[in-house]
Amino acid sequence: MNNTISSLPATYNFVQAAKQPIMYTYLITTIFIVIMNTLNVWVLSRPVLRSSSCTYYLLASVMPVPIFIIVTPINQILVNNRGFYISGTTVTCKLVMFFISTSSLWYASMLVCATIDRFLTSSTLVHLRHFTQVRVARIIIPINWILILIYLSPFTIIYYYDPMSSNANKCVQYSTTLISIYLISRVIVYYVMVPLLLAIFGTLTIYNIRNQRHRIAPVNQFNGQRRTESQLARMLIIQVASYLLLFTPSGIIYILVTFFPSLNTSYYATIRSLAGAWQQGGYFISFFFYIFSGKIYREELKKIFRWDRIRGKILNIHNHPHSMTVGANILPSVRE
C-alpha cells in the first residue's frame, strides 16, 4: 500500500514535467514539417524528377500531411496550451478520429506503393517494369485513396461525443466485439503489414540494384534516366529505413494500449505523446535524406535557389514594373 502511494507523486511529476517539452517539440516539428514538405513538393515537381512514376507516389505521400498537422500536432498544442480540443463537438469528434487514421495510412500506403515501384523498376523482368509507368501511378493513387476512405469510414461511426464522459475531450469509443475486431484489423494493417511490406520490398530493391552492377551498362541515351531512377531508389530506401525507425515506437505503444486497456492512463498517455513527437520527425526528415543521398535532388534544389536567377527576376521586375511580359519572362525560368 505504501509503495503504491509513494509512486503516485513520481507519476504525476513525470506527466507534468513532460507536458511543456512535448508542447515545444510539437510546435518546432510542425514548423519543420510545413517548411520541408513545401520545399519537397517544389523540388519533386521539377520536370527532371517528374518523369518517374516513383516521384508521383512521393508527391502523393505529402498530400495528407496538412490534414495530419491539423488533427495531431496543432490539436496537441491547443490542448496543452489552451485546454481546447478540436474533437470537442459531436461532428468534430468523429471527423478528427477519422482523419487521424486516414492521414497516417494514406502517407504510409504511398510509401509502400513507391517501394513496390522501385522494386519493379529494378527488376530484370520486362513485363514487371511495365507497371512502373507514370500513367499507372496516376491510376493507382486515386484508387488507393478511395479504398482507404472506404476501409476507415467506420471511424465516423464508432466514436461519439459524450459531454458526461470522464475523458477530457469527451470523445468516446463504442465498445462492441465487432468494433474490437475492426480495430484489431487496423492495427494489423497499419502497424504490421505496412512495416513488413516496406522492409520486404526495400530489401528486394537493394538486392536488385546490387545485381544490376554486374550487368552490361545500358545504352548511353538511357543513362540519364537510369541515374535518376537509381537515385530515387536510394532516396526511397533511406526514407523507408527512417520510417521504420521513427514510427515503430509509437506503433508499439498504440498496440499495447489497444490490447491492454488498463494501460490507458495519464502516465502511458504521456509516453504515447512523447512517441508521437518522435514520430513527427518522419514527416520532414526525408527532406534532409534526399539532399544527402540524391545528387539530382540537390541539383534541382540549387536551381530553385540560384542567386543569379533570383536576382535576374528582381531586376526584371524593377526595370519593367508595368510590362505585360514580366509573367512570360518569369514562368519559363520557374519551370526549368
User: What is the per-residue pLDDT across 143-173, written as a single tens digit (0 to 9) for each?
Assistant: 999 999 999 999 999 988 887 766 666 778 8
Average pLDDT over residues 245-271: 81
- Check pLDDT > 70 for residue 188: yes
Q: Which class is domain 18-305? A: mainly alpha
| Confidence tier at 71 by pLDDT (50, 70, 90) | confident
With CA atoms as reference, report the closest residue to 107 among 156, 59, 166. Answer: 59
Record the cell numbers describing residue 53, joined without a space. Answer: 512514376
Q: Spell out a b/e string for 241-251, using b for 16 or more CB atoms within 10 Å of the CB, else e.
A: ebbbebbebbb
- Check pLDDT > 70 for residue 88: yes
Distance CA 266, CA 26 (A): 18
Distance CA 159, CA 176 (A): 12
Average pLDDT over residues 285-297: 85
- pLDDT in the model for residue 295: 83
**Domain locations in the chain?**
18-305, 311-336
Paired strand residues for 149: none
| Confidence tier at 223 by pLDDT (50, 70, 90) | low
Distance CA 179, CA 187 (A): 12
Counting beta carbons within 10 angstroms of the beta carbon of residue 132, is it exposed (0 to 12), middle (13 to 18) or buried (19 or more)? buried
Please state whether the predicted TM-score (pTM) of the whole model is above 0.75: yes
Average pLDDT over residues 66-82: 83
What dihedral angle (degrees, nearest 10) is formed by the CA atoms of 292, 294, 298, 303? -170
